[in-house]
Amino acid sequence: MSGVLEGLEPRKVFTYFEQLTQIPRCSSHEKQVSDYLVEWARARQLEVIQDQALNVVIKKPASPGYETAPTVILQGHLDMVCEKNADTVHDFSKDPLKLRVEGDYIYASGTTLGADNGIAVAMAMAILDSPELAHPPLEVVLTADEEAGMTGVQQLDPGLLKGRILINLDSEEEGVFTAGCAGGGRVEFTVPVRKTTPRYKHFYRLTVKGLKGGHSGADIDKERGNAIRILGRILNGLKERCELFQLSGGSKANAIPRESQALLAVDDPVWLAEEVARWDSTLKYELAYTDPAVRIEIEPADAVKAVYDQATQSKVVHLLNLVPGGPFQRDLEHDVVVASNNLGVLTSDDEAITLTCAPRSSIRSLLDHFLESAAAIGEILHIQVSVSSLYPGWEYATQSKIRDLCLKTYGDLYHKPGKVNVIHAGLECGFFVEKIPGLDAISFGPDMFDVHSPDEHLSIGSTQRTYILLCEILKGITKDY
């Protein structure tokens, strides 16, 4: 325990958050943190359930006077997006995060912070561990694998829960109460690899770097550069005089990729240097307002005995340029993205080149249209397309008692109106609403910035205010609520 956050208030929230940053919890690798929470709950004589998906449900009886109040589900997720800078030495499977405080903000040096959604877990733990708080019966649900496709909540048995009020703590803007979200999933394109002997004798590594990246839902409207799409454009421009033999980019489907690479052979190094300089200048101009640090670099690479044959190279270059990326439909009246796609991860080995995308839409027919378009691209290029991890959207409810209570409590506490919105990012609320008929749901959280990137940071003051708000909302859920 490093104690970097020692002295911050609320003390229990930041103490538990720092403990969580010392436990590996990348998506699909949550056993250690899940087991930790089970033992933590048992040590406090709280009822706890851990299912096969590593979801954890912790139940706490009502405080005195709240025994007849309706049960509330407090919900967040255990896992985090594990991203690091290229020059950062960090093993997410065992290394604790290195925290630092700069003014009002908490960062992790060179890596994602995991405040998405570790701060929700920490708040829930603080409430469970505070006997003085007034609250209704609580069911704290901490799900696994949210960032990799929401597979944890998909496997959660709704029969474990009695609550019909859901407070999700997976939002990232203080004073904004989310009441609806997009659905989405994963689409994977697979290009089989065939190789041939290289004709060219000069080998280089081409790298796209310096992009901001970000969350493929929350930040997709910012028009930031996508390193995989940019790589596709460059390779299309170079295709007549280069041969490819390895491609990579991004690390998570739901994170806008900040870097990408291609290994290639060319006939003329001078020509390549001139083309790279031209692309570097072009992209700096195009992305001057969103990604001014973008740059394209080349460096010599080791010679290889085999490169992709012409058909393979043509298919992958066409694929990277045909798949739509970024927002492709907006609601102009409310200034929100309706439908989008993120080219998230590009990998290659001796057998195949794989592109994994994360489409989203708050209108199911538009998501279906993207899936149909993806299938058409597969047919045209004669490559495999697979769809997985589809998750439902969460439709805005015209009437919501919990939403009304949140807005009133926020206004009473901070003397300014709260805002209600529907977001383009996916939330687990969609699954809960689908699984539990009549569920009344809301989502909120403290200010977080640049989530899913190594620049992720959390506001200390906003966390303090949001925790106070959460406690007051729970206090307000009485028998007559």
Q: How many domains does the chain have?
A: 2
Domain annotation covers residue 1: no
Are 266 and 291 in the same domain? yes
Burial class (CB in 10 A: 0-12, 13-18, 19+), 209: middle
CATH code at position 36: 3.40.630.10
Per-residue pLDDT tens digits of the chain, which is 481 residues long: 458 999 999 999 999 999 999 999 999 999 999 999 999 999 999 999 999 999 999 999 999 999 999 999 999 999 999 999 989 999 999 999 999 999 999 999 999 999 999 999 999 999 999 999 999 999 999 999 998 879 999 999 999 999 999 999 999 999 999 999 999 999 999 999 999 999 999 999 999 999 999 989 889 999 999 999 999 999 999 999 999 999 999 988 989 999 999 999 999 999 999 999 999 999 999 999 999 999 999 999 999 999 999 999 999 999 999 999 999 998 887 788 999 999 999 999 999 999 999 999 988 899 999 999 999 999 999 999 999 989 898 988 889 999 999 999 999 999 999 999 988 988 999 999 999 999 999 999 999 999 988 999 999 999 999 999 999 999 999 998 8
Are 27 and 118 in the same domain? yes
This prediction's pTM = 0.76
Residues linked to residue 373 through DSSP beta bridges, in sequence order: none
Domain annotation covers residue 5: no
Are 171 and 274 in the same domain? no
CA atoms within 13 A of residue 108's CA, in its CB half-sphere: 34
Domain annotation covers residue 113: yes
d(CA 222, CA 445): 21
Are 123 and 203 in the same domain? no
The CA-atom distances, in angstroms, between 420 and each of 58, 167, 174 are 29, 14, 11
Collapsing DSSP to helix, strand or coil, 362 comes out as coil
Domain annotation covers residue 124: yes
Question: What are the start-end ranges of the E strands in 213-335?
Answer: 214-215, 242-249, 255-256, 260-266, 295-300, 307-308, 326-331
CATH code at position 255: 3.30.70.360
d(CA 215, CA 147): 10
Whether the CB-CB separation of 97 and 114 falls below 8 Å is answered with yes
Domain annotation covers residue 461: yes
Are 375 and 451 in the same domain? no
Does residue 117 have a cis bond before it (omega within 30 degrees)?
Answer: yes
Are 74 and 106 in the same domain? yes
Residues linked to residue 50 through DSSP beta bridges, in sequence order: 56
Are 406 and 363 in the same domain? no
Are 64 and 125 in the same domain? yes
Final residue in a domain of this structure, among 337, 359, 391: 391
Are 385 and 399 in the same domain? no
Active site residue 79: yes
CA 392 to chain centre: 16
Where b means 16+ CB within 10 Å and e means fewer, 436-452 reads beebbbbbbbbbbbbbb
Are 159 and 196 in the same domain? no
DSSP string, 390-436: EE--BPPPS--HHHHHHHHHHHHHHSS--EEEEESS--THHHHHHHS
Residues with Cβ within 8 Å of residue 108, at least 6 apart in sequence? 21, 97, 98, 99, 100, 114, 454, 456
Domain annotation covers residue 250: yes
Are 387 and 398 in the same domain? no
Final residue in a domain of this structure, among 358, 391, 424: 391
- Encode 238-250 in three state secondary structure: HHHHEEEEEEEEC
Final residue in a domain of this structure, among 359, 391, 423: 391
Considering 30, 83, 145, 146, which one is annotated as catalytic? 146
Are 230 and 207 in the same domain? yes
Domain annotation covers residue 45: yes
What pLDDT is recorded for position 389?
86
Domain assignment of residue 261, given as a range: 185-391
How would you classify the pairing of strands 176-181 and 419-423? Answer: parallel
Active site residue 146: yes
Domain annotation covers residue 322: yes
